[in-house]
Amino acid sequence: ITNRILSRYVNAMAVTFKESIKFFKNNDKCVVTGNPIRNRFEFLNREESLKFFEIDENSKNIFSFGGSNGSEELNKAVLGILEKFYKNEKISLIHVTGKLNYDKFLEEVKSKGIKIENNVKILPYMTEMDKAYGVSDLVITSSGAITLAEISKIGLASILIPKAYTTENHQEFNARAYKDIGASELILEKELNSDLLWENIEKIIFDNSRLEQMKENAKKLATPNAVKDFVSIFYDEFKGR
């Protein structure tokens, strides 16, 4: 809503997705630049990342997180699939609960008699996102614009769970753009449960051909020149003034 109001007064608008353009009345001002992302994602070292998380080099690795504050719905779904990892050492999980949910999550793990094994890492928060991405074969997360820009730049397969409460449901629109190109699987938050989550994980992580194709499709949505294109708007608008 704020963006729509401001759009009346600006000379140009940089947008992340071409699908965003239709939401502006004066959309002739829109320029698709994509989202600039941090330089730390430019060069990822898988070997170094494996050592950091103490994960076997032959493992297929899943990184799940529900945004910076975590997701209670995702935590519940992950709790129900932990035993799948304990029965298969060829796959590993790094799950971020969110700081506020961490103690509750561990209490529920303990109450269910689940033992935390070496191929499962449960963390309250992730500061080393570059290493987490560097070790990942499959990412499970919500579909905020910055996160999508990061996984596209790196080229990661994903299962996207858009947050249901976002303005005009924009995260679902983001996620569908990735699903439509074959870069992601989509699970709506209201439909999320352990069985559905595992079903989606299983059909991706154990299918090398599909996994690699999803990674390549993710790269198709990358905008490596986002910074340059964004800055060029200023030059184009104000040169000669």
Q: How confident is the model at residue 167 (pLDDT cuts 50, 70, 90)?
A: low
Mean pLDDT over 30-58 rounds to: 89
Whole-model pTM: value is 0.88
| Contacts with 113 (C-beta within 8 Å, 6 or more apart), sequence order | none
Query: Is the pLDDT at 240 greater than 60, yes or no?
Result: no
What is the per-residue pLDDT across 93-114, written as a single tens digit (0 to 9) for each? 999 999 999 999 999 999 988 8
Phi, psi values for residue 48, rounded to 5° = -65, -40
Architecture of domain 40-219: 3-Layer(aba) Sandwich (3.40)
Q: How far apart are CA 71 and CA 100, in angstroms?
A: 10
Q: Which long-range contacts (CB under 8 A, 24 or more apart) does 38-47 make?
A: 40/129, 40/130, 41/129, 41/130, 41/133, 41/150, 41/153, 41/154, 44/130, 44/131, 44/133, 44/134, 44/154, 45/134, 46/134, 46/135
Cβ neighbour number for residue 219 with a 10 Å cutoff = 15
What is the per-residue pLDDT across 60-73, written as a single tens digit (0 to 9) for each? 999 999 877 778 99
Q: How far apart are CA 183 and CA 105, in angstroms?
A: 30
Residue, of 20 and 165, whose pLDDT is higher: 20
Which pLDDT score, from 0 to 100, does residue 56 have? Answer: 92
Residue, of 38 and 30, whose pLDDT is higher: 30
Q: Do 134 and 45 touch, CB atoms closer than 8 A?
A: yes
Q: How confident is the model at residue 241 (pLDDT cuts 50, 70, 90)?
A: low
Mean pLDDT over 206-223 rounds to: 95
Give the mean pLDDT of the chain: 90
Q: Do 75 and 105 touch, CB atoms closer than 8 A?
A: yes
Domain boundaries, the chain: 2-34+225-238, 40-219
Which pLDDT score, from 0 to 100, does residue 116 have? Answer: 78
Residue, of 177 and 68, whose pLDDT is higher: 177
